[in-house]
Amino acid sequence: MGKIDVYPTTAWSAGTGCHGGCGQNLFVEDGKLVKVEGNEDHPWNQGRSCPRALAMTQYVYHEDRITEPLIRVGERGEGKFEPISWDEALDYCEEKMGAIRDEHGAESVIFVQGTGRDIGGPITFLAYSYGSPNWVQLGLSGHSCYTPRLGAMKTTLGEFAVADCSQFLEKRYDDPEWEAPEYIIVWGQNPPNTCPDGFYGPWIVDCMQRGSKIISVDPRNTWMSTRAEYHLQIRPGTDGALALGMLNIIIEEGIYDKDFVEKWVDGFDAIKERAAEYPLDKVAAITEIPAADIQAAARAYANAKQAAIQWGVPIDMCPDGTAVAHAISCLWTVTGNIDIPGGQVIAKPAFGVTAYPFSSEELVELYGKDLVERMNEKRIGADIYPMYKHFRGWASPDVTIEQIETGNPYPIKGAWIQTANVIGGQAARAKFHYDAMKKLDFVAIVDLFHNPTTMALADIILPAATFPEKNSFRSWWTPMDSIKKRVQVGECRSDWEINFELAKRFNPEGLQRWATVIDYFDERMEPSGMTFDELDAKGGWAMSPEGPGRPYRRHEKGHLRADGKPGFNTPSGKVELYNKSFESWGMDPLPFYTEPPQSEASTPELFKKYPLVMITGARSNLFFHSEHRQIPWLREKEPDPTVEIHPDTAKEYGIYDGEWIHLENDMGHIKRKALISLKVKPNHVQTLHGWFKPEAEGAEPNLFNVWDYQVNQIIPGPQASKSGFGGGQYKTTLVRLAKISEGGA
């Protein structure tokens, strides 16, 4: 037995799948990873690990892992691939992508990402070096994951804000500046099961242990809702009405923060008038929440000394996700819970360092205004949804898939897919995406395991590295972290290494100042005064020092504005509840409610046929989206895709616990194992997304049995909100249950 060395690093994908941030210790023996444990010295997770991190050894050394470049040798879908060298693989990509750029223009290749590993930096680096503006979460209608919330915050507040759980303070809960929120509204999330965007879910539990009381907004009974003082068991998709109704109560009863509103808020009278359109009885009828509960929760939140809101992806997936996030942001604004301990803390990255351009302003700063304007002329969907021109650099996923089909206004010929199992994971109306993408001339995929998308579409597959196998850095709010390579598996390379080398082939002159990926990291990290290696030598993480990077009350200190004056980073210097940016883009400047596109009110005839609301996407701490189904320690805990059904509903349909059944609607049906449970209401069912069977046959037509289990086959799409951001119908699709006949599929 050799000597075991212990190395600190930061967990991000690939491997854990998550949005990252946890400090982990890697135990390495003779160059092999033998164990992963939480790093007690890291302020983010303070020594804790999730099941996926603890199972990393099984993930890293899994027998089915792709560890060398593969090129397709049969027809698409046949599952026939042969290994080639890295030089041959990169030459092949350069040749195919170069030919498309020469004949059709760089915009005819789309750059497709999912969620999870640190992909935003490397994929945009490659896309812009190649010359394409079309960076997209293909299949995810309306980019219905965090971007709608970011857009609402950026345009009203000028910044991003998160629930204050002391995460911006090195001493965390022991820092005398921090105060625990008196109340936390946990809206559309079960934090113990998930670590969402820039946030560690167990922090909510930490706050509860320090006195925070919970208001849970969730249609399901969860660990969090059962410990809440108020559980607002909402009808899925009606969150906008609830937010406006609570806002109306707070304003009408005069329990808002009058001093903060008078000094720091623009558009209060307009928002008061809009909120008045949502009286309590109306909101109770829309949301199916008792009026007394809505009123009590609104009063508790508004009367708290300090209170916070932690929200989840269901906000983005409302029919108009940006408007719903706008409405919720009004709640923390009128109650003065911004930039104070225990409220919504202004979320700035440590030292002002970002791993890649996160906003339109940063795109202009890095690439120049002329380039960004030229990109916008070709960016898919930017002429339909003005917000795409002015916030971040996404192309519209809904317009993109239609354009693949139609070729208008220009053809889409190729796709670079990285961290995205489009067919088996994120795509609503999955078969439509499958059929459309089959028509592409060239598809390159960067991944670690075969999945339905690699099997169905890939011309070439490049093997990515897990987080113990790569160098990277993370600067998503705070702290700034290094991810340090400690082991090598096969010929796998990090996403950064792959994209950096290919980008230099497409733009050698523009990228000549960086000889290595580490040189690029060092340049991005310059504001911190540290290099990548220096950060690693310090233990792998660093918090912002005193000054603009530290909370609280930065709006009073002049720490938010470029001119150094007090105020918020908006044109008026105030929080603009009447959203002037939205108005200039032809959008409603005030929040509003839209009924779900499928419901008893919207589609009464469809509702008679399919009377159950299907909620999908609840997070499992064993899997991340469509990942990890082949990892033994994880899969044995959750071997099959289940659907939660209320006992009364199961009795009505004659379904017993553990029975395989169909969920069906006019789009088709998928298989689930019945789990009779009081977690859901009688008129709801809940099922996990992202299911396929890695142990099944991978070649077509099976594709790992994806067509048996992929719930997104029966979810409509494309279906973006009015803003283009939000609106994916992943929580509000109508279905019914059906017995599987003997011998039935």
83-111: pLDDT as tens digits: 999 999 999 999 999 999 999 999 999 99
With bands split at pLDDT 50, 70 and 90, how would you rate the model's confidence at 354? confident
Specify the domain boundaries for CATH 2.40.40.20 within the chain. Answer: 604-739
Average pLDDT over residues 647-674: 97
How many other C-beta atoms can be found within 10 angstroms of the C-beta atom of residue 48? 17
The rounded distance, in Å, linking the Cα atoms of 678 and 657 is 13
Ranges 368-372, 467-471, 586-590: which has the least confidence: 368-372
- Considering only CA atoms, which of 118, 70, 108, 91 is closest in space to residue 481? 118
Over 90: is that where the pLDDT of 614 sits? yes
Could you give the C-alpha distances from 600 to 188, 507, 595, 681, 713, in angstroms and in order?
22, 54, 10, 16, 22
Residue 100 Cα distances to 93, 127, 672, angstroms:
11, 14, 42
Backbone angles phi, psi at 46, to 5 degrees: 50, 45
Q: How confident is the model at residue 390 (pLDDT cuts 50, 70, 90)?
A: confident
Decide if pLDDT at 182 tops 80: yes
What's the pLDDT score for residue 496? Answer: 96
Location of each CATH 3.40.50.740 domain in the chain: 70-143+372-468+493-527
Instruction: Decide: 471 and 495 in contact? Cβ < 8 Å.
Output: no
* Bridge partners, residue 111, by sequence: 135, 416
As a whole number of angstroms, the distance between CA 689 and CA 708 comes to 12
Residue 306 has pLDDT above 80, yes or no: yes
Q: How far apart are CA 732 and CA 590, in angstroms?
A: 24
Contacts of 153 (CB under 8 A, 6+ apart): 159, 160, 161, 325, 329
DSSP state of 227: G
Write down the pLDDT at residue 71: 98
374 CB-near residues (< 8 Å, 6+ apart): none
pLDDT bracket for residue 691 (50, 70, 90): very high
Give the tens place of pLDDT for each residue, 553-602. Answer: 999 999 999 999 999 999 999 999 999 999 999 999 999 999 999 999 99
Q: Residue 742 pLDDT more than 60? A: no
- Residue-wise pLDDT for 414-438, tens only, equals 999 999 999 999 899 999 999 999 9
Which of 498, 385, 399, 424 minimizes the C-alpha distance to 107? 399
What pLDDT score was predicted for residue 117?
A: 66
527 contacts 353 by C-beta, under 8 angstroms: yes
> Cβ distance 108 to 410 under 8 Å?
yes
Residue 160 confidence (pLDDT) above 70: yes
Tell me the fold of 161-346.
Dimethylsulfoxide Reductase; domain 2 (3.40.228)
pTM over 0.85: yes
Average of pLDDT values for 11-22? 90
Measured CA distances, 332 to 18, 40, 309, 686, 697 (Å): 28, 33, 8, 30, 51
Rounded Cα distance, 706 and 427, in Å: 12
Contact criterion met (CB below 8 Å) for 82 and 73 = yes
Is residue 529 packed enough to be buried (19+ CB in 10 Å), middle (13-18) or exposed (0-12)?
Answer: exposed
pLDDT tens, 68-78? 999 999 999 99
When pLDDT is cut at 50, 70 and 90, the band that residue 375 belongs to is: confident
Measured distance CA(650)–CA(654) in Å, rounded? 6
Average pLDDT of the residues in 625-636: 96
Q: Which regions of the chain carry the CATH code 3.40.228.10?
A: 161-346
Please, where are the H alpha helices in 170-279?
Answer: 202-209, 239-252, 258-264, 268-275
> Is the pLDDT reported for residue 202 higher than 90?
yes
Bond into 618 cis (ω within 30): no
The reported pLDDT for the residue numbered 358 is: 65
Say what percent of the chain tops pLDDT 90: 89
Cα–Cα dist 242/224, whole Å:
19
Q: In the predicted model, is pLDDT for residue 389 greater than 80? A: yes
Domain 604-739 -> CATH class? mainly beta
Amino acid letter at 545? P
Under CATH, to which class is 70-143+372-468+493-527 assigned?
Answer: alpha beta
How would you class 370 by CB atoms within 10 Å of its CB: exposed for 0-12, middle for 13-18, buried for 19 or more? exposed
pLDDT digits (tens, 9 = 90+) for 125-159: 999 999 999 999 999 999 999 999 999 999 999 99
> Does position 744 have pLDDT exceeding 70, yes or no?
no
Structure tokens at 154: 């950026």
Report how far residue 14's alpha carbon sits from residue 11's, in angstroms, rounded to the nearest whole number. Answer: 9
Question: If DSSP codes are grouped into helix, strand and coil, which group holds residue 446?
Answer: strand
Segment 384-388 shows an average pLDDT of 92
Strand partners, 687: 616, 643
Considering the chain, what is the average pLDDT of its residues? Answer: 95
